[in-house]
Amino acid sequence: MLSFAGQVAIVTGSGRGIGRATALALGKRGAKVLVNDYGGGFDTLTPGTNEVAQSVVDEIVAAGGEAVADGTAVGTGESARVIVESAMKSFGRVDILVNNAGGSRPFHNVDEDADENLEGVIRSNLIGSLMLMRRVWPIMRDQNYGRIVNTSSNTVLGQQGMLAYVAAKGGIIGISGSAAIEGGPLGILVNTIFPQAYTRSVDDTAEPGTMDWFKSHTPELVAEGVAFLCSRECNVSGELFRIGGGRFSRYGIYGNKGVADAELTAEFVAERFDQSRDMADAEIVPDAAYDMARFNSALASDWQSELKSDWRK
């Protein structure tokens, strides 16, 4: 069994669902866990209670582990400070951050729902994760060690009626990639997940009766994959993983060679549009620097070849 002995984890949104399962998975392997959950609704607006987080703490303690409850709602720099300070006061360090907290609204078309409701979704999903990374960063930097797992969603590939949620989850991929580049030399690894599990979010968003088959996709099957990404044994960073239903796989953004002409015109593209979309020679694009070098290498000029060789130095 993987061991997290001597390590401290913050797991947000861990009162229920995937977050709860993750807190339990880390706790049973020896991690001291700050169980964060504001105890409210998945809509990010319903008032909550600290009892939700405390119930998970009680489970961890009953199993012989150590944990404390925190009922702070994520979404601001101040709330992130409170959460991290609570972990430091209780345990003296932070080795792991799992940004699991988030929420969504019932389906609305692009121009529907109130601005403040959409802003709440973005705060809970994106701003909360960003601010918590910022608050644990100096602690992990001083330790020369850290593991951060950020929760995105496959809805970023396109999902009707969830505009703010999709925007926030797309942002998660971006901030994770940037933090991974900066964190590498510091011993801080940052990865992102697309989770899939039967939770209350499914009940809130799916049509009744359409997801009965989905109930075998338990939160625990996601949490076990997250636990590995939080471990010392994980040695990759800046990657995206799809986890759920017993499956663990890497996802990525791919780019092909495309077509190029120094004097590109709309007509040139029209004639070669199918060729430009052909993914036969596509490869994964891990970051913006690689993308820039790879893209520019297809352009015929002396300075481009120099850029390709020097860009990542």
Count Cβ atoms below 10 Å from residue 65 Cβ, excluding itself.
20
Whole-structure pTM value: 0.89
DSSP string computed for 141-171:
HHHT-EEEEEE--GGGG--TT-HHHHHHHHH
Question: Contact, 32 vs 8, CB < 8 A?
Answer: yes
Q: What is the pLDDT of residue 100?
A: 96
Q: What is the pLDDT of residue 310?
A: 44
Instruction: Give the active site residue among 165, 251, 254, 290.
Output: 165
* Alpha-carbon gap, residue 11 to 240, rounded angstroms: 19
For the chain, give every domain's residue range: 8-251, 254-304
Q: Which residues 6+ apart lie within 8 Å of 183 measured at CB?
A: 137, 140, 146, 148, 189, 190, 237
* Alpha-carbon gap, residue 168 to 51, rounded angstroms: 28
Let me know if 145 is a catalytic residue: no
Output the tens digit of pLDDT for each of the chain's 313 residues. Answer: 999 999 999 999 999 999 999 999 999 999 999 999 998 765 555 555 789 999 999 999 999 999 999 999 999 999 999 999 999 999 999 999 999 998 766 566 667 678 888 888 999 999 999 999 999 999 999 999 999 999 999 999 988 878 889 999 999 999 999 999 999 999 999 999 999 987 766 655 555 555 665 677 899 999 999 999 999 999 999 999 999 999 999 999 999 989 988 889 999 999 999 999 999 999 999 999 999 888 887 764 434 444 444 433 3
* Alpha-carbon gap, residue 102 to 41, rounded angstroms: 10
Which superfamily, per CATH, for 8-251?
NAD(P)-binding Rossmann-like Domain (3.40.50.720)
